[in-house]
Structure 1
Amino acid sequence: MTDTRQEILDAAAKLLEHTGAERFSIRDVCQAAGITAPTVYHHFGDKKALLEAVAADGFRRYLETKRSREPSADPLADLRRGWADHVGFGLEHPAFYRLMYGTPNAEERPAAREGDRILVGILERLAEAGRLRMPPEQAATMIHTASVGTTLSLLSTPEGPRTAGLADRMRDAVYAAVLHESEVPGDAATAVPELARTLLATLSVRDTAALTPGEHGILLELLAKLASDDA
């Protein structure tokens, strides 16, 4: 049985890659899919809804690889591979990427939230290993914001000295902000905040059976104070 809706999405996706969202039209989609305009409107309502569906389909395709990939023994390697996959997808599918991440409320799409959960899962493993400077959700926000901003910048800036190695430099900068080496560096004055950040990140993903919920909350509050730069 032919899935007309998916055929329209496939035709629209191919068209989007060639024309971009600015020149994208229902008429061209109809010609590409061999259908009439009423059929498109029946399934999607209007051009805006069709583009939204194309963006959701783009997220689905992007996440297929992430869903099928088993975590490795090294969460840091998984984190680096995730960054490379994200930037690589954007550079390979620029029109898709701009539609997915360059539009209002892009982060509210269910598939975008699923991608965030996958990233948080990797960061939780790093937190359990004592490698995270902050709770996984905060680290995920920083990494995601950096990866999206970097990719959109690469798509809008001509290749040249300014962009050479930009993705790797941005990755290293944001990872340095959210991660630290196994050995906490620095003297006693700097070690306490670093250790507090590490313990705060670790306890945010681990149960502390010896503590009541109230005690656990107090401990997290105290660690947050010790982890601040003013501590």
Structure 2
Amino acid sequence: MQVRPISPDRLAELLADRITALPGSGERWLRVAVDGAGAARPELLADALVEPLRLRGRPALRVSAVDFLRPASIRLEYGHRDADAFHDLWLDDGALLREVLDPLEPGGSGRVLPSLRDPATDRSTRAAYVQLPPGGVLLLDGALLLGRWLPLELTVHLALTPAALARRTPADQQWTLPAFARYEAETGPTEAADVVVRVDDLRHPALVERP
């Protein structure tokens, strides 16, 4: 295993090339996930992929997993700071499949709901459905996405050492750290992901190249 420093811009270009080189990529929708703890800022990398994909003739649609959390009555059933509930219960996998991922299966409608529920107000976002053109790319960002059997054509994991994760996680989110430790132990995201990028310093990512 080699770790190669890479600039953020070059990383986005490399990933855009990787996405457009996927088998059948010009003829079907592609579902790409950027997985990482909040401290890794997966939304920034997902956002950065939109323009390189557009320049390659591939329209992209951004969706964030945080907009597909279960209602507060379910996710907070065991309290506001239960790490196991955060790991197991917060993400509404069913809604994400139904409204985002399944419509992009071969023969699907291509009609995607970009957001479901505002996590702050716990109310529907009332978002309108979006039609992703054939050959379009869904860019999903979020935490704890791997190991859930979500149908994805490419997965990118943004890895942090435990020390970097603890250092960069805000004080009011420190209670989530055991959930990420459990994720590492049970899911092994660095082995499960198609692409792994170390982001202990967001300004200086490093691409993990596996044999």
Whether these two folds match at TM > 0.5 is: no
Q: Which has more helix, going by share of residues?
A: 1
TM (norm. structure 1) is 0.24
TM (norm. structure 2) is 0.25
> Based on CA coordinates, which of the two structures has the bigger radius of gyration?
1
Q: Which has more strand, going by share of residues?
A: 2
Relative contact order, higher structure (CA 8 A, sep 6+): 2
